[in-house]
Structure 1
Amino acid sequence: MERPDTLLFTLTGRDRPGVSSQVFSTLAGFGVDVLDLEQIVLRGRLILGVLTSVPDNLPALQGAIATAAAELGMNIEIERGTGDTKIERTGRCHVTVIGVPLTAAALAGVTQRIREAGANIDRIERMARYPVTAFELALSGADVDQLRAQLAVLAAEQSVDIAVQPASLLRHGARLIVMDVDSTLIHGEVIEMIAAHAGFEAEVAEVTERAMRGEIDFEESLRARVALLKGVPASALDEVYNAIELNPGARTLVRTLRRLGYRFAIVSGGFSQITDRLAQDLGIHYARANELEIVDGVLTGGIVGEVVDRAGKARALREIAAEIGIPEEATVAIGDGANDLDMLSAAGLGIAYNAKPLVRSQAGTAINVPYLDTILYLLGIKREEIEAADAAAGVVTPAPPI
């Protein structure tokens, strides 16, 4: 019989303090090397896997580890292996699944598509249980583009959000986050709020909707809408700003990523008179938007300078990334309208946030739950880590339901 090169010990049972200590103390008595190690605790149940070299006195080690497991009240399995213990992991990627709720049927579909793609699930971690349920699956052996296309169809069928990202060192470094403003960072459209002061809210809203769906040219539509604002007093902008509602999770998203050294930019087809104040309020580093022309305290119905349109948003992302020395692959863009598509495409990770159908269909990743901080889970940050950092800083967060 061929002598084994490795031993895999798998212990399962009720978790309690001292399990790992007793196991490794037992192994230490036989002078083995630890080649691999994994441990998870799920609802108080421990699974501990230890891959070791083989000692000279193999029967004695098997007996000792079995005794240790019995004393701990745990089950033990011992597998012998031969050959190279290193597994080459290619086609590595992260799949994030988000649902409200997240059903077994949705997860069954995800795992089936992964199996059909010939990929292997190496690890599963829960990212959040409230206000959404989110899991991250680490895969190997995947064709990322093929898997993304298959899971996009499943996401629509099961009404869940699924993001597929290649595993990359960039995921662990500081990145640039570039966000749209209207209907992304904030609820609603600023231009419609201003138009209400001129009595043209309905007319402006109709044109805005068509522009966001990509049915009409953005710059043309913007100039036509702004022309309707002629005569509105500049003081109305203060009223509009005070009425703005941030989308849920906006402050948490910015606060958390700033702690990690991320840089933020808001790039908007809206107006600098609003976006500059938003940037100052939230601690956002850069802001690009259109400037409303104001003469003698009144809006003229015109725009000063070049319009920030679809191409302008992508250009702003590239310029800001170059200014701070961050590669485009390390940028994240978030938007909801057709004028965000170039920006989403230019970014390393483009996220359609509660977007129009056209945008969802063309973006690599879509989030359809109304929580901006859900994006943190796509970056590998867990809800528990966010709340722990907030608690340490004295930030009070709502308690999850029991």
Structure 2
Amino acid sequence: MFCIHDGHSWHDLGPIRGRSSLRKPMDPDDQAAPRDTILIRVTGPDGPGITTDLLSLLSNAGADVQDMEQVVVRRQLTLGLAITVPAGRDLVKEVLLFGYERGLEMNFEVVDATPTRHAERLVVTALAPELKPADLSVVTGAIATSGGNIDRIHRLSRFPVWSYEFLVEGAQGDKLRTDLIEVAADRRIDIAVQPHGLSRRSTRMIVMDVDSTLIRNEVIDLLAAEAGHEARSAELTAAAMAGEIDFETSLRQRVRLLAGQPEGIIEAAIVHMSLTRGARTFARTLKRLGYKVAIISGGFTHFTDHLAQRFKFDHAYANVLEIRDGRLTGEVVGDVIDAEAKARLLRQLAYIEGVPLEQIVAVGDGANDLPMLTAAGLGIAFNAKPVLAESADATVNVPYLDAILFMLGVTREEVEAADASTTPLSAERPLSKLLP
């Protein structure tokens, strides 16, 4: 079917029938002649050469392309072109014949010649184990309620989670975030709202927490288990992560449980570290993208150095356990890396690497990560305690660290293409078994 729009209604032109011109004929070589602006929409089965051949036809007809966008979904093409042609130029039959020969539907519409005015835009990312039509409906409904119009929708992944990216213009940023937070809580969807601009596209550094983020354990609890104080240490850890007690006080109390233990318990604890699912894919992809990667931990240097060496991270910071005569004293050397220290280190790293704060992404799970996430351009709460999840820019509640890549606009297909020549190792295996 071929259709043309005359500004009032659509007309079915049949297979190759239709008006031969949009206005009375004029000399197409007359550069001073007025020009019509026409929107051509092409839909149908995709194939090589369609765009090239159509552009060649338009060029030969004296048309100029003002705008063009194309998308292919399940091998079905949707192509839109805004073109200008000399008024009266006989173009319709040529384009209709082009579409007929390729089994394509060609629609025409005379449109306003004024270019679309640039507007500030936001990127909304929705992520969940499943995203059904009802889920997507409430997301798009929240966008509309906030005054936003969706300019583009792009699927980022289907595995291990579903994720979509919506490019939105005209929305009230604060209202959009508020409405989407309500949607996320009700539908159990992870949502991120970010400005669409150079800062997002040029993000160059990731700063991560370690315990319960990069790894699934709390290293102090691993040490306490080796020392026979696992239950008490776990209680203090939970209270600190929930923001119920001061982090430094909690850490020092837990370290004192280790007093007198042989330093060999550190290596024994490292053996039991277990990476978060997707951690290797996440780290590997970030390095391929050229990101600087830093880990800042309220744990201990033996563990962070081990991880930094394994993943070739650029920076690693953590507390230093005091050891004398081969035994732990139950004390920490120097100042404790607490919540404010994490934020301070992030700012120092930004200065060292020459990266603006708005181009840094911070990832954490506990209350002591909040200042760090606040200091970054994008703060992501990963399977976080409520006190952090309620304040972060974005939340990820699925158990896959590489899902954060989708919040950055990286697609699953891009990750898989980059991994095609390698054999990923299972994230379920203990880290110690991955070492030479």
What is the TM-score normalised by the length of structure 2? 0.88
Give SS of 1:35's match. strand
Of 397, 413, 417, 1:368 maps to 397
Q: 2:3 matched to which residue of 1?
A: none
Q: Counterparts of 1:18 and 1:176 in 2: how far apart (Å)? A: 39
- The reply on whether 1:188 has 2:217 as its aligned counterpart is yes
Contact 1:335–1:351 under 8 Å retained in 2: yes
For 1:362 and 1:107, the matched residues in 2 are separated by: 24
CA contact (8 A) 1:14 1:44 kept: yes
The equivalent position to 1:30 in structure 2, one of 61, 66, 90, is 61
Give the aligned length.
395
Q: Which amino acid aligns with 1:100?
A: P
Q: Distance in 1 between matches of 2:408 and 2:279?
A: 15
Q: Summarize the alignment of residues 219-234 of structure 1 with structure 2, pairs less than 5 Å apart.
A: 219-234=248-263
- Show the 5 A alignment for 1:303-314: 303-314=332-343
Q: Distance in 2 between matches of 1:34 and 1:220?
A: 66
Q: Which amino acid aligns with 2:131?
A: L
**In the alignment, which residue of structure 1 is the partner of 2:27?**
none
2:431 alignment partner in structure 1? none
Can you give the 5+ residue segments of structure 1 that lack an aligned partner in the other structure?
none
* Aligned residue among 96, 101, 118 for 1:71: 101
Which residue matches 1:318? Answer: 347
Per the alignment, residue 250 of structure 1 pairs with 279
Partner of 1:42: 73
Residue 336 of structure 1: aligned partner: 365
- Match for residue 5 of structure 1? 36
On the 8 A contact 1:227/1:302 being kept in 2, the answer is: yes
The aligned amino acid for 2:323 is: I
For residue 338 of structure 1, report the CA deviation from its aligned partner.
0.4
Distance 2:407 2:379 in 1: 11
The residue number in structure 2 matching 1:94 is 123
C-alpha deviation, 1:5, in angstroms: 3.1
Distance in 2, Cα, partners of 1:213 & 1:272:
23
Partner of 2:110: 80
**What SS class does the counterpart of residue 119 from structure 2 fall into?**
coil
Does the Cα contact within 8 Å between 2:122 and 2:195 map onto a contact in 1? yes
Partner of 1:217: 246
Counterparts of 1:236 and 1:139, CA distance in 2: 53
Specify the SS of the correspondent of 1:280: helix
Counterpart position of 2:292 = 263
Between 1:25-34 and 1:359-368, the stretch displaced more is: 25-34
Q: 1:115 to 1:248 in 2, by over 3 A?
A: same
Identical positions, percent? 48
**Which amino acid in the other structure matches residue 84 of structure 2?**
S
* Structure with max Cα Rg: 2
Which runs of no fewer than 5 residues in structure 2 stay unpaired?
Answer: 1-6, 8-22, 24-33, 427-436
For 2:347 and 2:301, locate their aligned partners in 1 and report how far apart those are by CA, in whole Å.
19
Q: How much does 1:396 deviate?
A: 4.3
Is the contact between residue 350 and residue 356 of structure 2 (CA under 8 Å) also seen in structure 1?
Answer: yes
